[in-house]
Each structure stands twice: as structure tokens, then as C-alpha cells.
């Protein structure tokens, strides 16, 4: 059964963000990260390596304080974005990860401005192809990240949450950025960072997509090479981070595929090389 919902709307960074609404989790976490950094009011290229970990810790903390268990509550997005609801503690301390790619994102805009952001996933995979269609049925029941209370505990008939978060950014009511990512629980951090690099810091879309990323699991911070100086690394360690620097960029950090549209209607696009992404502008 297909559920059709209004997107989650957020006014931030001089425009409007549209993303996947609850009971999906990913869109709300991206929105909370965008809002958190805007309210801090100081994001720039020189403090990027300090501010992004703060935002990642903030949105992870919201999950740890019970957002996972409140995601099906009516109007939870509005409550979270307007009041930073003080959630009770819940036993979610570490977010399991799936290091393999099973999620695909496509961003599209046509000559008339019709825009689409769509993310699909096999989850853990079902091993079943619908005869005559070539369509592989997914299986999200084995995704630990969207079963935070444990497997087989979601009441019958209740929708599984999702971390998938196809996202658009509008300026003056017109699409300015279309993006999304695969990457299991890393996709929200990938989308957040690529969007901010382009919208806030002004990076061209290819640079924004390819820029080295960070992702946290609790106090463990995974970092791609080329982003942390030794002083910045030391400062983060003083804040309690355990830093793991990767030797090269990796599929682990998601695969953001994005389209940017300038104020004259010019289009540029980027496919993330971490996941074999392809971009085509005709």
C-alpha cells in the first residue's frame, strides 16, 4: 500500500527545505541538523570541521533521548522543530551500520522545471524478483537502524520508519537544489554536509558532493582524509571524540547524487564517485 504524504517543510538558510516526513526518520534528522547549525549562526569554511561534529552529535543525541520511539506520534516533526521537545531517555546508545550499498538515489529536473528526488532501497534484500518485471522486492525487517527497539517488536500494521531522505531546497519558491543519498544510517550526515557545502558555503555542486565527510556513531567520529588538520583533530579529541581517519574516501560515507539550479535557470549536476554516481545534463 502506497502512503502519500505532504513533505516535511523547513524554513532555513534563506529558503525552504522539503524532505521525507515522519514516520521516516532521515528527513527529520536532516532538518534538525540544518536548523541547529542555522541557530548557531556561525558556519563557515574555517570552522566546518568543528561545527559539523556538533550537529552530528546533536541529532544523534535526539535519537538517544527517545526520538526513535516518538517518531509515530502525531505532529512530531512540528513539535521537534518548534520546541526541541525534551524527550525521555531510551535505550538507544549505538546505531548499527550496514557498510554495504543497497540504497539508490536519483535526482531529476526537466526543461519545464518539474523536479523529482527519489530514493529506493533493497534493505537487506528479499531474494525475490517479481516475475516479468525485473523488480527486486526489498526487506527492511532486517535493518537494525530502523528497528531501534529490536526486531519483531513493532506493532502489527505500524509502518517501519526509514532513514531515506530525498530532499529539495527552494529559493523564492523555485527548486535550487535536489539531492539524496544511499548509505543506511550515514545518508543523513551525507545529505546534511553536501547540502550545507553548496547552499551555505557556496561550493559548486560537484565540489560539495565530493568534499570529505564525517559521520559519528556515539562518540566515534569517522573522518575521510583531507578535512581535519592536527589542531582541529586535537580540539575534537578534547571534546570527547574518538577519531578514526580513513585512508581514502569510501562508499561507507554515502552516495549523494545532486542537481543544482542557479537563479538564471542554469543546471549543474554531480554523481557521487563514492558509489559510482553519474550525472547527465542535456
Active-site residue numbers? 103
Grid coordinates representing 130 are 517479481
E-strand stretches of 91-206? 103-109, 115-121, 129-130, 135-136, 167-171, 174-182
CB under 8 Å to 104, separation ≥6 — which residues? 119, 120, 121, 182
The DSSP H or E segment spanning 215 is strand 214-217
DSSP secondary structure string, 16-60?
Answer: EEEEPPTT-SHHHHHHHHHHHHHHHT---TTTHHHHHHHHHHHHH
Q: How far apart are the first and last CA of the chain?
A: 35
Q: What does the alpha-carbon distance between residue 272 and residue 107 come to, in Å, rounded to a whole number?
A: 12
By C-alpha distance, which of 253, 269, 252 is closest to 108? Answer: 269
- Maximal C-alpha separation, the chain: 58
Q: Are 252 and 99 in contact (CB under 8 A)?
A: yes
Q: Is 37 exposed, middle or buried (0-12, 13-18, 19+ CB in 10 A)?
A: buried
The owner of cell 569510501 is 250
Amino acid at each position: 500500500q502506497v502512503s502519500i504524504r505532504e513533505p516535511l517543510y523547513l524554513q532555513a538558510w534563506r529558503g525552504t527545505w522539503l524532505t521525507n516526513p515522519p514516520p521516516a526518520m532521515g528527513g527529520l534528522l536532516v532538518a534538525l541538523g540544518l536548523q541547529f547549525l542555522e541557530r548557531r549562526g556561525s558556519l563557515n569554511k574555517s570552522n566546518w570541521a568543528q561545527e559539523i561534529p556538533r550537529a552530528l552529535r546533536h541529532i544523534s543525541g535526539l535519537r538517544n533521548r527517545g526520538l526513535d520511539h516518538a517518531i509515530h506520534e502525531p505532529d512530531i516533526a512540528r513539535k521537534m522543530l518548534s520546541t526541541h521537545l525534551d524527550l525521555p531517555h531510551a535505550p538507544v546508545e549505538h546505531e548499527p551500520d550496514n557498510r554495504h550499498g543497497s540504497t539508490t538515489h536519483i535526482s531529476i529536473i526537466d526543461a519545464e522545471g518539474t523536479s523529482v528526488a527519489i530514493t529506493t532501497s533493497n534493505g537487506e534484500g528479499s531474494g525475490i524478483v517479481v516475475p516479468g518485471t525485473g523488480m527486486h522486492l526489498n526487506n527492511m525487517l532486517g535493518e537494525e537502524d530502523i528497528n531501534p527497539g529490536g526486531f519483531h517488536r513493532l506493532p502489527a500494521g505500524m509502518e517501519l520508519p526509514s532513514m531515506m531522505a530525498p530532499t529539495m531546497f527552494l529559493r523564492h519558491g523555485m527548486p535550487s537544489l535536489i539531492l539524496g543519498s544511499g548509505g543506511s544510517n550515514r545518508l543523513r550526515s551525507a545529505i546534511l554536509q553536501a547540502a550545507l557545502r553548496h547552499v551555505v558555503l557556496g561550493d559548486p555542486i560537484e565540489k560539495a558532493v565530493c568534499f570529505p565527510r564525517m559521520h559519528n556513531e556515539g562518540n566515534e567520529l569517522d573522518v575521510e582524509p583531507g578535512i581535519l588538520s592536527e589542531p582541529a583533530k586535537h580540539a575534537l579529541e578534547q571534546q570527547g571524540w574518538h577519531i578514526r581517519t580513513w585512508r581514502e574516501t569510501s562508499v561507507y560515507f554515502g552516495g549523494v547524487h545532486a542537481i543544482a539550479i542557479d537563479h538564471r535557470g542554469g543546471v549543474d549536476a554531480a554523481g557521487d564517485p563514492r558509489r559510482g554516481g553519474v550525472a547527465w545534463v542535456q
